[in-house]
Amino acid sequence: MSNLLKHTPSPIVIAGPCSAESMDQLSQVAQSLHTIPQVAYIRCGVWKPRTHPGGFEGRGEEALKWISTIKKETPSLKFVVEVASPDHVEQCLQYGIDAVWIGSRTTGNPFSINELAQSLRGTSLPVFVKNPLNPDVQLWLGAFERLKQCGICNLAAVHRGFSTFNNIGYRNNPLWEVAIELRRLAPELPLLCDPSHIGGSQEFVAPLSQTAMDLGFDGLMIEVHPSPSEALTDASQQITPSQLRQLLQNIRVRSVGTSSHELNFYREQIDAIDQQLLQLLSTRLEVAKQIAQVKQRNNMTVFQPQRWGTLLQDKIRKAQSLNLSEEFVMEIFQKIHAESVRVQEEEIR
């Protein structure tokens, strides 16, 4: 479907400042990134979506002029810019921008995606689509479907994590399983990771990039600024060009590989364990149905809060001695219990 990864380095790297701030900043970062072979595109925000009004909202058309000046001097440089409206697309086309990305806030809005898709119709611009702010893989997929309907097929996904209410250490929750599910549903779609917006802090960029490689991502979008502490947006997460060079030198790129005797030996064990787990879950639900009958005869509620509380405490306590994480055991049992309640409800209806 997408030929975006043809003739690009592996992993494909998009790097550049969060925002284009000045001609000087942009040409400085462009010249340093030009010498890093993995960098296929220089990113920079020209229109910035800000949480509150009144902050720096990007230099707009002025920044597009800087880009076209830089490209005249160094034609091999390619730039990618965020677009959120047909007007942005039109201006990018006018100034010869090489590719566009659709930001997280825009991906979540099908009306905006339709408008963007219409405005991109007939162009061959590569389009990178970030995940929506909420972990809705279908909404993310829907954006690709809308773009494809308008004949736009040079597409790639960018995983940048998901908004949270609580402070979880990272700026956005990676929820890697959402990206893994996108890969399962659209295996042909190139998948990049944006460790800068997931981590929100310089120190997380390298480890998150390595996780992305371990999970088989095709590339990275990383925020790079010549002087991160002076950045007008996202100062804490941007790294310097030399830090990027170091990161790319140290990163270990993996391949899916092929199965081996040794791997199969363990995989057979895993398959047998999974079979036992399924069998046990099925038996557990059969017992739950019996419990439902007893509760019904005694006019008791299906959900018994006290029992559920002690059951969960007990499992968490046992988890520790079995070397299992508390959160993991809690999540598993929340799911098992919810299914048990559902089956009991069905049983007595």
> Minimal CB distance to ligand PEP: which residue?
103
Using rule CB under 6 A, residue 18 touches ligand PEP: yes
Which residue is listed with tokens 């010869």?
A: 96
Backbone phi, then psi, for 224, in 5-degree steps?
-130, 130
Output the six-digit token pair for 171.
């700026």
Cis upstream peptide for 11 (omega within 30°):
yes
- The H-assigned helical ranges of the chain are 23-34, 61-73, 86-94, 104-107, 110-120, 137-149, 176-185, 195-199, 202-214, 241-250, 261-297, 305-321, 326-348
- Which of ligand PEP, Mn ion, none sits in contact with 102, Cβ below 5 to 8 A by type? none
Smallest distance from the beta carbon of 312 to Mn ion, in angstroms? 39
Spell out a b/e string for 218-251, using b for 16 or more CB atoms within 10 Å of the CB, else e: bbbbbbbbbebeebbbbeebbbbbebbbebbeeb
Site track 253-292 with Mn ion (rule: CB under 5 A), x = hit: ----------------------------------------
Smallest distance from the beta carbon of 107 to ligand PEP, in angstroms? 8
Which residue is listed with tokens 């970030």?
A: 130
Using rule CB under 5 A, residue 18 touches Mn ion: yes
Interface size with ligand PEP, residues (CB under 6 A): 8
- Which of ligand PEP, Mn ion, none sits in contact with 49, Cβ below 5 to 8 A by type? ligand PEP
Using rule CB under 6 A, residue 315 touches ligand PEP: no
Spell out a b/e string for 13-31, using b for 16 or more CB atoms within 10 Å of the CB, else e: bbbbbbbbbebebbbbbbe
Q: List the interface residues with Mn ion, window 197-256 (CB under 5 A).
A: 234
Q: List the interface residues with ligand PEP, window 62-121 (CB under 6 A).
A: 103-104
Backbone phi, then psi, for 149, in 5-degree steps?
-60, -25
Using rule CB under 6 A, residue 132 touches ligand PEP: no
Smallest distance from the beta carbon of 177 to ligand PEP, in angstroms? 18
Smallest distance from the beta carbon of 18 to ligand PEP, in angstroms? 5
Q: List the interface residues with ligand PEP, window 38-67 (CB under 6 A).
A: 45, 49
78: burial class by Cβ within 10 Å (0-12, 13-18, 19+)? middle
- Which of ligand PEP, Mn ion, none sits in contact with 21, Cβ below 5 to 8 A by type? none
Using rule CB under 5 A, residue 133 touches Mn ion: no
| Contact status, residue 130 vs residue 194, Cβ threshold 8 Å | yes
Indicate which single residue of 71, 88, 197, 315 sits in contact with ligand PEP (rule: CB under 6 A).
Answer: 197
Q: Which residues bind Mn ion (CB under 5 A)?
A: 18, 234
Q: Which residues bind ligand PEP (CB under 6 A)?
A: 18, 45, 49, 103-104, 130, 160, 197
